Chains A and B, each alone.
Chain A
Amino acid sequence: GAVVSQHPSRVICKSGTSVKIECRSLDFQATTMFWYRQFPKQSLMLMATSNEGSKATYEQGVEKDKFLINHASLTLSTLTVTSAHPEDSSFYICSARETGANVLTFGAGSRLTVL
């Protein structure tokens, strides 16, 4: 079945630095990928829809300059948290849907801790 790889699984960084999270579809092409954020004991909040070759579509309230999304190929989308602050600490999860498929496949998630 479809597999989505997300890296790194855990990252700790200092306040003010930037962190990049990669999301790869390993055995299928994904023109669209989705980035979610999950707070402790809460549901997944959709941050943005990543579109291959074009700008991402951000949900209301999500700062596009803070959370940079690049979808340069059909198998890779990246989320960069710029100038990270402790309140950005969270679990970030990407997902992708193979063209023509109905099911979203999720990465294992990336836990970001900003000190």
Chain B
Amino acid sequence: AQSVAQPEDQVNVAEGNPLTVKCTYSVSGNPYLFWYVQYPNRGLQFLLKYITGDNLVKGSYGFEAEFNKSQTSFHLKKPSALVSDSALYFCAVRDAGNTPLVFGKGTRLSVIA
């Protein structure tokens, strides 16, 4: 069965500094990996995905993530954080079939001006 671990409940970053939100996964076969962001009382917005190809994936709002197969990780990164990036971030994984996404518990990012 698929699983996702987001080891940090909260990440605090000063505006302008780089940010990293960690994610590790477990899946049989090749993973389909995703990052979503959720603002208060809203649904999830898609940020980026890794299916195949280049291990470094670029997504919306300047975010990127690096797929590391040996470490089974897919950490989310941004070179320079904005206050408006403050939100709840979810990592998710599924296998290659038409299976539902499995989500991590989420990491709350707080960017301080």
Residues of A whose CB lies within 8 Å of any CB of B are: 4, 6, 32, 34, 42-44, 46, 49, 91, 93, 95, 102-109, 111
| Contact (A34, B42) CB under 8 Å given A44-B90, A102-B32 | no
| Contact (A43, B43) CB under 8 Å given A32-B98, A102-B32, A106-B36 | no
Contact A109 B41 (CB under 8 A): yes
Contact B46 A49 (CB under 8 A): no
Contact B49 A102 (CB under 8 A): yes
With CB as the reference atom, state the residue of chain B lying closest to A46.
Answer: B100
Task: Report B49-108 residues with CB < 8 Å from chain A CB.
Answer: 49, 51, 90, 98, 100-106
Contact A107 B32 (CB under 8 A): no
Contact A106 B105 (CB under 8 A): no
Task: Provide a sorted-by-A list of 26 A–B residue pairs whose CB atoms are within 8 angstroms.
Answer: A6-B43, A32-B98, A34-B100, A34-B101, A42-B105, A42-B106, A43-B90, A43-B103, A43-B104, A46-B100, A46-B101, A49-B100, A95-B44, A95-B101, A102-B49, A102-B51, A103-B34, A103-B49, A106-B43, A106-B44, A106-B45, A106-B46, A107-B43, A108-B42, A109-B42, A111-B41
